[in-house]
Amino acid sequence: MQTKTLIVGGGLSGLALADRLHREKSDFLLVEASDGFGGRIKSTTIGGAAFDLGPAWFWPGQPRLQSLIDRFELKVFEQHSEGESLVETADGRVLRSRGYASMQGSLRLAGGLGSLITALVNELPEDKCHLSAPVAALTHTNGEVRADTAIGSISARHVVITAPPRVASDSISFNPALPAGANQALQNIPTWMAGHAKIFAVYDTPFWRQNGLSGDAMSQRGPLVEIHDASAAENGGYALFGFVGVPADSRSKLDQSLKQIALDQLIRLFGKQAENPSELILEDWAQNSLISTPADHTNVGAHPVYGRPPSLTGLWQGALSFASTEMAGDFGGFMEGALEAGENLILS
């Protein structure tokens, strides 16, 4: 196979770049290692309601994302925040607070963020986008790059890697080898949200709202350190979700018992009405080798300063570029950053 531009990675960055090239009538192929598009965006449907197991929120003032939402006529709704918040102390006391809801003012998509991924995929020619096609090696010779993939060899004038930088560094063999500074830069860039895990509890009714609670809770005891209302826009899709505070390497040893421990915590916080969810879901991103590497198992805490390092520009005489959200200077780590990263790439 041969193409002008090969895009490695079918998350939001890769799909947006493919969409740009398709609209510019520029030749491209996109290969995605997993069996589905979306990357870190993952929505699941339960009883007709969609829940986001990866990122869920976005904010006003993110013009690229808003432009896509407007283009595809997707429905936006505001994160539920009405009601009191809960605080669980280290010794197990549960306190109610009328304080500001931490995600108040954030926005979500009806149908989940997966609806945006679906809309983008539907715009692209099927024969240009390939699933289950990991790239094992890239070789640059005579102004051309050959990609060795699970679906065969692909030759391209330009390759754009939109997979997380650490994953690309660990999983792809570069021939000739990248300069030491470029390799180090890839390893030094933490993959946003790669160490996170979420637990969702889906219910038939939003009983916490009926009890005057917003669904927001902060805990010093855990295992969920931060909890929010995750209810869908559709009637009947009610849920609470929490970020797991147990370190990635430790929670992998807990296996399914982590879900029961988390459910016990929801009962402590929200009462006996929380004890029988219709679904209890654990999504541990640290266990996804296409998203997270061992270096990502330690949560980064504060939002890193992202942007494309100088050592990652001009590689292979301009034939190799990186364009994940971590490459974005203004909105790095956000979905807006995933769109920003490939926006101004000059493709030879």
CA distances 5 to 14, 46, 158, 324, 345, Å, are 11, 38, 5, 16, 12
pLDDT > 70? residue 250? yes
> Which CATH number fits the domain 47-53+80-111+195-290, given the four candidates 3.40.50.11540, 3.90.25.10, 1.10.1270.20, 3.90.660.10?
3.90.660.10
Architecture of the domain defined by 1-41+113-193+303-348:
3-Layer(bba) Sandwich (3.50)
CA distances 58 to 61, 95, 106, 326, Å, are 9, 29, 6, 17
pLDDT digit string, tens, across residues 54-73: 999 999 999 999 999 999 99
Domain residue extents for the chain: 1-41+113-193+303-348, 47-53+80-111+195-290
Average pLDDT, stretch 168-191?
A: 97
pLDDT > 70? residue 186? yes
Instruction: Specify the pLDDT at position 159.
Output: 98
pLDDT > 80? residue 99? no
| 133/322 Cα distance (integer angstroms) | 18
> Which of 281, 275, 278 has its CA nearest to residue 263?
275
pLDDT > 70? residue 278? yes
pLDDT digit string, tens, across residues 214-246: 999 999 999 999 999 999 987 679 999 999 999
Instruction: Specify the pLDDT at position 102.
Output: 78
**Average pLDDT, rounded, for the chain:** 94
> Model's pTM, two decimal places?
0.95
Instruction: Specify the pLDDT at position 233.
Output: 86
* Position 15 confidence tier, pLDDT thresholds 50, 70, 90: very high
Instruction: Specify the pLDDT at position 199.
Output: 97
Share of the chain above pLDDT 70, in %: 99
Indicate if 47-53+80-111+195-290 has the same CATH topology as 1-41+113-193+303-348.
Answer: no
Instruction: Specify the pLDDT at position 348.
Output: 63
Residues 11 and 41 sit within 8 Å (Cβ to Cβ): yes
Instruction: Specify the pLDDT at position 100.
Output: 67
